[in-house]
Copies of this chain bind each other. A is one copy, B any other.
Amino acid sequence: MSALRAVPIPEEAPKPQTYTAKAYAAQSPTSSMAAITIPRRTPQPKDVQIEILYCGVCHTDLHFAHNDFANSIPTTYPCVPGHEIVGRVVKTGNAVTKFRNGDLAAVGCMVDSDRTCESCREGEEQYCASMPVLTYNGPDKHLGGVTYGGYSQSVVVDEDFVLHVPKNLNLAAAAPLLCAGITTYAPLRRAKIRAGQKVGIVGLGGLGHIGVKFAAAFGANVVVFTTSANKTADAIRLGAHEVVNSKNDAEMQKHAGTFHFILDTVPVQHNINPYINLLKRDGTLGLVGAPAEPLPLEVFGLLFGRKHISGSIIGGIRETQEMLDFCGEHNVTADVEMIGIQQINQAYDRLLKNDVKYRFVIDMASLK
């Protein structure tokens, strides 16, 4: 897929000048992450050069490092992951209007899109008909090859894909908002979640724990579904009003027909039908995890109660800025475990065991 949409660089177009940055990369599907030096373009007129302070570690990083999406988006090596980027502007192109040196800045999962399709025109760049240019492993139209992500000292991005970060937020804890945050904010916002409504969160991981915070910040009565009894106290601390053991049928049945919205963050095979049963009439099960295998859907459960299932991925740039602003006002950030870049392989191992509360964030000062 990457190969199909790679933008060939016209021969006459000179490549921009570059500078080098330290980074961490996978060199093959089986190699460990290790230090590398990568080129970054010098800022073009609309570009912002950002010194990266923190970068969140998303499970997707690990998938790309291991070439797990070989059939749809094969990984080009070296692969420098990272799309939860927070830093400070150190240089700007001469046509940049939204950022100045010294500004806080953030970059999420996209660094460009075709900007002409219906989705782009409507500010929904994440659904760009040409596919948005991913922050890493996307076709790099400036330098050729693929884009390199946030496990790096520095990144250069068109200002239209750079976000402002509210100054009051803890910057390390804000990094995961750029992927895990917008992924959970967008469907809850779209469902117009408000006070008095009952919202469920399935799965208390990197996504789910921020989903709890957003649902609570929107004023909802938040119920966390989990199969791990030891997550109860944490769920309450994060803002949940109740925790339900999803394996306990009697406990589940008590909530039948009462939820306005249930956000399902589980990325592996699971049974969604019991959650559909818990929805009120016209309620929605919002899926943001992507299991590899199809999920069995019992249609009767949707018919009786006019219920809905929706999917979504991240959010558009405008919506991502709105989310960050909301986080600034309501002081919402992720719960993070800070690591040095040298611990990234160990972090990946722990991620595979879901052993993180709730997001690893790399302190990029460790790269110097």
Residues of A within 8 A of B (CB): 118-119, 124, 127, 129, 257, 273, 281, 287-291, 294-313
Given A119-B281, A281-B124, A296-B297, are A290 and B303 also a contact pair (CB < 8 Å)?
yes
- Picked from B287, B294, B302, B310, the residue with its CB within 8 Å of the CB of A296 is B294
Across-interface contacts of A129 in B (CB, < 8 A): 257
Give the docked Cα–Cα distance between A301 and B298 (Å): 18
Do B311 and A299 touch across chains, with their CB atoms under 8 A apart? yes
Instruction: Give the CA-CA distance A296 to B290 in the complex, in Å.
Output: 14
The 8 closest A-B pairs by CB, nearest first: A302-B311, A294-B296, A303-B311, A297-B297, A306-B312, A309-B309, A308-B310, A127-B281
CA distance A185 to B57 in the complex (A): 47
Copies per assembly: 2
From A257, A298, A309, residue with most partner B Cβ within 10 Å: A309
Q: Beyond the given A127-B306, A294-B298, please list 10 additional residue pairs across the A-B interface where CB-CB is below 8 A.
A: A124-B306, A287-B303, A290-B300, A290-B303, A291-B299, A294-B297, A295-B296, A295-B297, A302-B309, A302-B311
Complexed CA–CA distance, A312 and B308 (Å): 9
With a cutoff of 8 Å between Cβ atoms, the chain B residues found around residue A299 in the complex are 287, 289-291, 294-295, 311
13 residue pairs bridging A and B, Cβ less than 8 Å apart = A124-B281, A127-B304, A127-B306, A129-B257, A287-B299, A295-B297, A295-B299, A299-B311, A302-B309, A302-B311, A306-B312, A306-B313, A308-B310
In the complex, which residue of chain B has the Cβ closest to the Cβ of A281? B127
CB distance from A219 to the nearest CB of B (A): 20
A214 CB → nearest B CB, Å: 17
**Which of B273, B289, B310 contacts A294 (CB under 8 A)?**
B273
Contacting pair A310 B306 (CB below 8 A): yes
Which of A289, A308, A311, A313 has the largest number of chain B CB atoms within 10 A? Answer: A311
